[in-house]
């Protein structure tokens, strides 16, 4: 395999050259970005990114497990406490009002990925027709949406014994080839235990720096490269902050980090290099309006979502309560 430097040409080209993902400027573009981030398409993985000249788009998730690890901020197993079908939109997007949704309250049984705000969470499920009753068990996934004041929005599949099911006549998941994924719940749990979810990038790290994305390379088959400038420290402190991040093109990876945006940079113990190579999609590193969607907390309360385990950090399944 060729090196990242050769695979992604002109890595340090300025964003002014037009090789980077531009932040949405219009309401319609913002709406599309929001829909992409939530993965609203019915059981077929995230909606595709809009291609740009010279881009290699990361592959679509091939399985339900890959879809769940693609970048949703929170993936949980929970029991329905209440569910109401209604219509609502996005607080900051009047053009997307009056959408069919199912407002749910879940008691969390297990957090598969991410950091839940409490043992009981509220989640807006896109669309209706789930026919949920109190006591139903769900595998639910969602993302914190800026346009809805960081409300958790997503979808769910019912757990009946070891079987997963969608809404009536809805498959659990359809891959890019059209093949339906019919794995049992136990098989999905096993597959998820082997998948690097974006939020797990913090596990085993020791320090976290705050940086600003200066420019990025276009996508290539091996991934992409971020050129960053240091803004300071969030957890701990060191003399070394990398100026380049390299990450792989994982299926369904859509970081939504654009030039000028802030991002977190977790560093392992003893890190002294100028280049940090990640094995995760970097979507959980995004900081927007002082909020870290990948951990479900504001930047100034990041310690609620992280624990120190010996000399390193670990993402908490359920956030520490505020003092």
Q: In terms of Cα–Cα distance, which of 182, 140, 190, 141 is closest to 164?
A: 182
For the domain made up of 64-195, the CATH class stated in words is mainly beta
Predicted pLDDT at 140: 96
Phi, psi of 314 (to 5 degrees): -150, 140
Residue range(s) of every CATH 2.40.50 domain in the chain? 64-195, 199-315
Whether pTM exceeds 0.85: no
For the domain made up of 199-315, the CATH class stated in words is mainly beta
- 59-90: string of b/e by CB count within 10 Å (b at 16+)? ebbbbbbbbbbbbbbbbbbbbbeebeeeeeeb
Which residues, in sequence order, are CB contacts of 178 under 8 Å at separation 6+? none
Q: Tell me how far apart the alpha carbons of residues 94 and 103 are, in angstroms, rounded to a whole number.
A: 19
pLDDT along the chain (323 residues), means of 10: 40 34 38 42 42 56 87 94 91 76 96 95 93 96 92 94 88 78 84 85 96 84 87 93 90 88 95 92 94 96 93 95 77
Our separate counts of H helices and E strands in the chain read 4, 16
Residue with tokens 């690097």, as numbered in its chain: 196
Predicted pLDDT at 103: 96
């Amino acid at each position: 395999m060729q090196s990242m430097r050769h695979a992604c040409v002109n890595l340090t080209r300025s964003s002014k050259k037009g090789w980077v993902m531009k932040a949405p400027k219009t309401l319609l573009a913002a709406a599309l970005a929001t829909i992409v981030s939530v993965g609203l398409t019915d059981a077929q993985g995230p909606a595709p990114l809009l291609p740009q000249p010279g881009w290699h788009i990361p592959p679509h998730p091939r399985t339900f497990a890959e879809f769940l690890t693609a970048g949703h901020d929170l993936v949980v197993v929970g029991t329905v406490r209440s569910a109401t079908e209604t219509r609502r939109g996005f607080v900051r997007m009047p053009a997307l009002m009056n959408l069919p949704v199912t407002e749910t309250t879940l008691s969390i049984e297990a957090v598969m990925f991410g950091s839940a705000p409490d043992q009981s969470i509220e989640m807006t499920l896109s669309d209706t027709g789930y026919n949920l009753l109190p006591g139903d068990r769900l595998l639910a996934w969602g993302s914190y949406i800026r346009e809805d004041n960081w409300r958790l929005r997503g979808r769910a599949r019912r757990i009946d014994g070891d079987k997963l099911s969608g809404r009536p006549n809805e498959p659990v998941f359809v891959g890019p080839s059209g093949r339906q994924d019919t794995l049992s719940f136990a098989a999905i749990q096993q597959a998820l235990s082997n998948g690097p979810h974006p939020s797990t990038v913090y596990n085993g790290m020791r320090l976290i720096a705050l940086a600003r994305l200066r420019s990025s390379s276009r996508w290539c088959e091996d991934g992409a490269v971020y050129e960053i400038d240091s803004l300071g420290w969030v957890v701990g402190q060191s003399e070394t902050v990398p100026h380049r991040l390299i990450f792989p093109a994982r299926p369904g990876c859509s970081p939504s980090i654009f030039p000028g945006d802030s991002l977190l940079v977790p560093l392992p113990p003893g890190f002294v290099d100028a280049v940090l190579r990640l094995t995760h999609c970097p979507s959980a590193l995004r900081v927007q309006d002082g909020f870290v969607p990948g951990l479900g907390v504001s930047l100034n309360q990041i310690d609620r979502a992280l624990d120190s385990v010996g000399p390193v950090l670990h993402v908490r399944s359920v956030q520490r309560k505020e003092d």
